[in-house]
């Protein structure tokens, strides 16, 4: 028989933020230049990558590859 945990006391809950005050007063941190460049590079390559996946879905001789490509497009469509 398994007994109660060593410390059965509940963890105290934190207080909700006061009305009119943000729970995240500093906001989201700004992105550094490398992050911005990486995001832009990914956006530029996205259409080409999607075309490649679509080609695999239509032209692959392996059923597993066609299914995986179709599933990728459906899930992230």
What's the pTM value of the predicted model, to 2 decimals? 0.56
- The string of DSSP letters for 7-72 reads --PPPPPPPPPPTTS-SSTT-SPPPPHHHHHHHHHHHHHHHHHHHHHHHHHHH-S-HHHHHHHHHH
Write down the mean pLDDT value for the chain.
Answer: 86
Cα 17–23–28 angle (5° rounding)?
Answer: 175
pLDDT for 13 = 74
Is residue 69 within 8 A of residue 56, CB to CB? The reply is yes
Render pLDDT for 32-67 as a digit per residue (tens, 0 to 9).
Answer: 999 999 999 999 999 999 999 999 999 999 999 999
């Amino acid at each position: 028989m398994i007994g109660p945990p060593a410390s059965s006391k509940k963890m105290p809950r934190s207080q909700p933020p006061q009305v009119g005050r943000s729970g995240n007063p500093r906001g989201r941190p700004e992105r550094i230049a490398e992050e911005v460049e990486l995001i832009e590079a990914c956006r530029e390559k996205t259409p080409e990558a999607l075309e490649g996946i679509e080609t695999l879905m239509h032209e692959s001789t392996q059923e597993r590859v066609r299914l995986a490509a179709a599933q990728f497009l459906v899930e992230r469509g």
